[in-house]
Amino acid sequence: MDHKSDERVKEWPLMGSPFPTLFLCLSYVYIVKYAGPKFMETRKAYDLRKFLFLYNIFQVSFNGWLFYEGISRWTSKSYSIRCQPIDHSRSPEAMRVATLCWWYYICKLTEFCDTFSFVLRKKNKHISTLHVIHHGVMPMSVWFGVKFIPGGHGTFFGVLNTGVHVVMYSYYLLATFGPRFQRFLWWKRHVTSLQMFHFVVIICHSFQLLFNNSCDYPQFFVWWIGVHAIMFYLFFTEFYKEQYGRSPPLNALFEKKPRVKSQ
């Protein structure tokens, strides 16, 4: 693994081996599905409003910073939406991008707190299969990206993801203000739609490289990113149907509508 990986990140925290990250992900699943609910079984739910207020500010700021850093590059003339090779050099810009990729990986680990807060507040209905898979898989997936390809074409999905998370955590932040702010939270369904839409854009952006043999970007990671986006889109489709009782807007466009018989 070290022979094939990016030499620059080998000594960075948690980058030497996949096992610490795998242990963290498996521990997360064990805590939120078994140990946590068992611990809270005979206890009262914790009031975490102050913590969640600060936590959501932190996530909006963290994701906002990563989004700003990423979008400033992807909207510049030096980045190509069609093909962006990885710069494995130790130039200041290449190292900056690699460092941002590592911070994105750390961001995925901090998101474990989303589910931990559900456990401590005894909101077990919110701990859906989609939620656990999404949070439990992402750190491990991003670890491989940082280990082998910290930069280039694959950073596009991270930029979109952090942008969507700024919107999502802003929603959660408003929700911490209590019932008097409920009238401002009418856009929950649209946040889910935005999440699904960004997976579609990631799929298109990733798989376009299958038709561009001249792009110096490993095809393994084209499939790695694209298949993850497809998987999460399908999970979010089921979640959307369960939550709102109908198909997501993008799916509804392609579904056949029953013909109305004329009287």
> How many angstroms from the chain centroid is the CA of residue 43?
32
Tell me the longest C-alpha to C-alpha distance in the chain.
74
Note if 3 is an active site residue.
no
* Both structure tokens of 73: 């590059």
Q: Which residues contact 99 (CB under 8 A, 6 or more apart)?
A: none
Distance CA 95, CA 98 (A): 5
Smallest CA-to-CA distance from 135 within 113, 151, 156, 112 is with 112
Q: Which is the catalytic residue, given 134, 153, 165, 228?
A: 134
Distance CA 104, CA 158 (A): 7
Distance CA 168, CA 234 (A): 19
- String of b and e for 117-126 (b: at least 16 CB within 10 Å)? bbbbbeeeee
Q: Which residues are catalytic?
A: 134
